[in-house]
A and B are shown apart, each in its own frame.
Chain A
Amino acid sequence: MQKKILTDQSIYYGNVSMPENWEIDRIELSHHILQSNLTDTKLQLSKTFDKLNDYVREHINLKYSFNLINKETWGNIYKPNETTVPLLNVDPVDLRNSPDYTLLYGVKTKDCMVRIYYDDNRRKGRSWDIEIKDNMFIMFPSTNMYYLTNNQKDSLNFVQTITYEYI
């Protein structure tokens, strides 16, 4: 008996473990997210963003042997008790230009939960919950719908999203 895996629906997550004294400057990232949201402009790219992006791409390639190519990036700020609408980063009528993976990075978060929906054959609409903490990333297929729940009481949550294609 043999088995052929036709597709793989995996979630990759973990902390961004940079070398000592080379940690991601999350304060700088949160400033850029704030600036981008206030001015309604694209997120400013920086060396700090490159560090984060290189870390993810290189470690995914090392551990799971596939290459990620950047599509887009943006940052979100969430108020206390804010729950997002269900989010989906593929455009069903433009799959050609849609990303393969969505990555969420906890720039500054507290009590921030992500719920990711998936189908398990005929068992539709299953979900998996994970808390996104500071300096943690979660990457999942962009075809999976997700939403974020922010249960913090007295601060804003900053989450950076990066989308990728894979080859």
Chain B
Amino acid sequence: MAHFAKLSESNEVLTVLTLNNSDMLNADDVETESIGQQYLETHNNWPAEMWIQTSYNTLGGQHSNGGTAFRGNYASIGYTWDVDNQIFWPKKPYSSWVKHISSASWKSPIGDASALTDEQTDENTAETHRWRYVWNETNTTWDLTNELA
């Protein structure tokens, strides 16, 4: 089973359809994206070049079964197709965040939050606290908060 994302004119994903592998075989019986696109154009009234194949098992630039990651993330409604980087991007979580190509994900401009200390982790385990770093878009910082406070 193959999956194709249907793109809007602004490269947003409108929907994702599945296609039988047999419907995208070329003359040499090799699965070919362009054949699948042509099939979808014929049967779904939308131009071939606006159907882009996506991998169900790819997330964050990695393939869940150890295979080759394909186009960054499995496309979903509202994702944006990035032609230059050949990646489906989810919605940007904060306006200051930037694309991180190799992980096909959005990262804060100052990188990931620090890891919790052993003490904080122990307190989380004991459920006396619930320490977590929360992104502060106003100050562009990671703020350590105790959600139980």
Asked if chains A and B come from one complex, the reply is: yes
Interface residue ranges, A against B (CB under 8 Å) = 17, 19, 21-22, 47, 50-51, 54, 58-59, 61-62
A22 touches B46 (CB 8 A): yes
Whole-angstrom distance between the alpha carbons of A51 and B78 in the complex?
20
B14 proximity list for chain A (CB < 8 A)? 58-59, 61-62
B12 proximity list for chain A (CB < 8 A)? 62
27 example contacts (A-B, Cβ-Cβ < 8 A) are as follows A19-B9, A19-B46, A19-B47, A19-B50, A21-B47, A22-B45, A22-B46, A22-B47, A47-B45, A50-B45, A54-B44, A54-B45, A54-B46, A58-B6, A58-B8, A58-B14, A58-B15, A59-B8, A59-B14, A61-B15, A61-B77, A62-B8, A62-B12, A62-B13, A62-B14, A62-B77, A62-B78
Task: Give the size of the chain B interface in residues (CB under 8 angstroms).
Answer: 14
Main secondary structure on A side of the interface with B: helix
B46 proximity list for chain A (CB < 8 A)? 19, 22, 54
Whole-angstrom distance between the alpha carbons of A62 and B10 in the complex?
12
- Which B1-37 residues have C-beta < 8 A from chain A? 6, 8-9, 12-15
A50 proximity list for chain B (CB < 8 A)? 45
B134 to chain A, nearest CB (A): 21
**Residue on B with the closest CB to A50?**
B45
In the complex, besides A19-B50, A54-B45, 7 extra interface pairs with C-beta distance below 8 angstroms are A17-B9, A19-B47, A22-B45, A22-B46, A61-B77, A62-B14, A62-B78
A59 proximity list for chain B (CB < 8 A)? 8, 14
A54 proximity list for chain B (CB < 8 A)? 44-46
**Residue on B with the closest CB to A61?**
B77
Whole-angstrom distance between the alpha carbons of A21 and B48 in the complex?
12
A17 proximity list for chain B (CB < 8 A)? 9
**Residue on A with the closest CB to B50?**
A19
**Residue on A with the closest CB to B15?**
A58
Whole-angstrom distance between the alpha carbons of A30 and B45 in the complex?
19
